[in-house]
A and B are shown apart, each in its own frame.
Chain A
Amino acid sequence: VTLLEQNPRWRLVPRGQAVNLRCILKNSQYPWMSWYQQDLQKQLQWLFTLRSPGDKEVKSLPGADYLATRVTDTELRLQVANMSQGRTLYCTCSPRLGGPSQNTLYFGAGTRLSVL
Chain B
Amino acid sequence: GDQVEQSPSALSLHEGTGSALRCNFTTTMRAVQWFRKNSRGSLINLFYLASGTKENGRLKSAFDSKERYSTLHIRDAQLEDSGTYFCAAETGTGGYKVVFGSGTRLLVSP
A96 shortest CB reach to chain B, Å: 10
- Cβ of B45 within 8 Å of any chain A Cβ, yes or no, is yes
A91 shortest CB reach to chain B, Å: 11
- Cβ of B66 within 8 Å of any chain A Cβ, yes or no, is no
- Contacts of A42 on B, CB cut-off 8 Å? 84, 102-103
Count residues of chain A with CB under 8 A from any CB of chain B. Answer: 24
- Report A32-66 residues with CB < 8 Å from chain B CB: 36, 41-46, 49
Given A36, A101, A110, which contacts B42 in the complex, CB threshold below 8 Å? A110
Task: Please tell me if the beta carbons of B45 and A104 are within 8 angstroms of each other in the complex.
Answer: yes
Given A98, A103, A107, which contacts B43 in the complex, CB threshold below 8 Å? A107
Cα–Cα, bound, A102→B50 (Å): 9
| A-contact bits for B46-90, CB 8 A (1 contact / 0 none) | 001110000000000000000000000000000000001010101
Q: Which residue of B lies closest to A97 (CB)?
A: B96
- Cβ of B97 within 8 Å of any chain A Cβ, yes or no, is yes
Q: Which residues of B contact A (CB under 8 A)?
A: 30-31, 33, 35, 40-45, 48-50, 84, 86, 88, 90, 96-100, 102-103
